[in-house]
Structure 1
């Protein structure tokens, strides 16, 4: 019996030449109105959010990377080939931030994550080499409290032997108490590990 024809889903691709920062904002009135869905990137300082954006968009230097944690103090909006918008959220867990700065940034981040209607998913980046920090766990719990879809990306996978990656993934899932519907991927901005799979996971939210 002939099998029915199944239409293949075309994987989303981003043209690197059509990627750029739109704006940096700290207040809702400064957020861009592009008509596109937004995917936010959350993670502690220096976990690799800028490198992740550059890798996903296939273009170095779109998002500036820095060896100094805590440098991003605004919500940075990046147009990803008019398909969606990446929003780089200020990193958490930077000890040298003053209490007043942490409170100010915390209010800004919370307001964006809970009230932005065009936000459809949050990519939470954690360091694959180490168990999630208390801040990582708090952020995941916060997102799930507000019923936000989460994709966990465990960065710096090139630093871990391939045979040990699943062990580290299991630790992250256990410590975060990840919900079954949320996906997790090991990722390296150097070898682009699991980049196509992550792009496919994002596709349904844009």
Structure 2
């Protein structure tokens, strides 16, 4: 798979011009968003993985085989930045999601070990209010046993009011869930 960086942007006027479908990736800081994208693309470091959360501050665009564009959005919910900076990220994420006609799918990455936070629920509500298709990836499944995965998937589905079949159980470390995620992405785009 050929994947290459197009550009970083902050404002809609700076987004790249193209007619490909876009798949946007969202998630709390430290949920493994960059790792999930790299695993899906079969690359080690196309998307920079930071040791500290909150590294992605711009909206990053990547051309995938001239068939689609992956969009890496800033992580939300990071506690160690100013309130003003958090609000700026939120506005930029909202501006992209609400205005981008090429956006066909939002991939929301959640940590399977954690109950969704108010930030997660706010993002989900925004996506639904904007009538966006959402694929839920529950990352970090390698940290749990099979029984714990089933239990946590139920906790998360109950909290969000979704059926477990809406989730892809994923592990960026073990590459679990890659085929299922691609199947759902392709089904939405084509």
Query: TM-score band, normalised by the shorter chain?
Result: over 0.9
- TM-score normalised according to structure 1 size: 0.88
Tell me, yes or no, if structure 1 residue 59 matches structure 2 residue 73.
Answer: no
For residues 18-56 of structure 1, give each alpha carbon's deviation from its aligned partner in whole angstroms, at most 9, with x where no partner exists.
111111000111111222100111110010111011100
TM-score, structure 2 as length reference? 0.95
Aligned to 2:174: 191
What is the CA deviation profile of residues 111-161 of structure 1, one whole-angstrom value per residue up to 9, with x for unaligned ones? 101110000110000100111111111111111111111110011010010
Larger Rg belongs to: 1
Alignment of 1:175-190 (within 5 A): 175-178=159-162, 183-190=166-173
Equivalent-residue separation in structure 2 for 1:63 and 1:38 (angstroms): 16
What's the offset of the Cα at 1:163?
2.5
The corresponding residue for 1:145 is 129
Q: Which has the higher helix share?
A: 2
Alignment size in residue pairs? 189
Q: Which runs of 5+ in 1 are unaligned?
A: 1-14
The answer to whether the 8 Å contact 1:23/1:32 transfers is yes
Residues 151, 182 of structure 1: 8 Å contact kept:
no
Q: Which residue of 1 aligns with 2:141?
A: 157
For the residue of structure 2 that corresponds to 1:185, the secondary structure is strand
SS of equivalent residue, structure 2 residue 62? strand
Q: Equivalent residue for 1:118?
A: 102
Equivalences for 1:37-186 in 2 at 5 Å? 37-178=21-162, 183-186=166-169
User: What CA deviation, in whole Å up to 9, does each residue of 1:94-114 have, x standing for no partner?
Assistant: 112212112211111101011
Structure 1 counterpart of 2:186: 203
